[in-house]
């Protein structure tokens, strides 16, 4: 006879599912990715940008080796032509990079969803990330 209440087995299964989903989400948002540490040694603002990218967990979605990710790869991005939603093409110059970091949904790359979170970054942090992207953009 059904009482309309879930059984203990159903509740246990639901708890396991929720724990598994939380584990996946926490792993995806982790800032312990090593992908940014495999690039050539950087100095100055580029090195600071590399550290900021690592600390923010950016390479959880953006790769630095050209492979597919949730977001566009950072490899070779700076200075390249980028096709945006709607078909317009722009150059990923300093202005584009800054805007994409500061207002991620303003110019979304074609084929990607606008899911990048907005961050409250200082001008120095944004400048260092741009320097990092420009440094690895030159290493094609």
Note the pLDDT tens digit of each residue in 71-93: 999 999 999 999 999 999 999 99
| Angle at which helices 94-102 and 123-137 cross, to 10° | 130
- Determine the 3-state secondary structure of 72 from DSSP: coil
Give the global pTM: 0.70
pLDDT for position 4:
63
**Distance of alpha carbon 102 from the chain centroid:** 13
Q: For 33-137, CATH number?
A: 1.10.760.10
pLDDT for position 29:
39
Mean pLDDT of 126-138: 92
Mean pLDDT of 47-62: 95
Query: Tokens 């939603």 sit at which residue?
Result: 85
Joined together, the tokens standing for residue 130 give 């741009």
pLDDT for position 137:
82
β-pairing verdict for 81-83 and 89-91: antiparallel
Joined together, the tokens standing for residue 50 give 């590399």
pLDDT for position 8:
61
């Amino acid at each position: 006879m059904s009482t309309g209440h879930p059984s203990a087995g159903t509740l246990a299964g639901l708890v396991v599912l929720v724990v598994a989903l939380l584990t996946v989400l926490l792993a995806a948002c982790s800032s312990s990715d090593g992908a940014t540490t495999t690039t050539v040694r950087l100095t100055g603002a580029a090195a600071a940008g590399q550290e900021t990218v690592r600390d923010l967990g950016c390479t959880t979605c953006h790769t630095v080796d050209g492979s597919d990710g949730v977001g566009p790869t950072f490899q070779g991005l700076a200075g390249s032509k980028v096709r945006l939603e709607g078909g317009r093409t722009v150059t990923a110059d300093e202005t584009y990079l800054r805007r994409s970091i500061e207002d991620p949904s303003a110019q979304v790359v074609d084929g990607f969803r606008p899911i990048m979170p907005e961050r409250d970054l200082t001008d120095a942090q944004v400048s260092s990330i741009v320097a990092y992207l420009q440094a690895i953009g030159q290493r094609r």
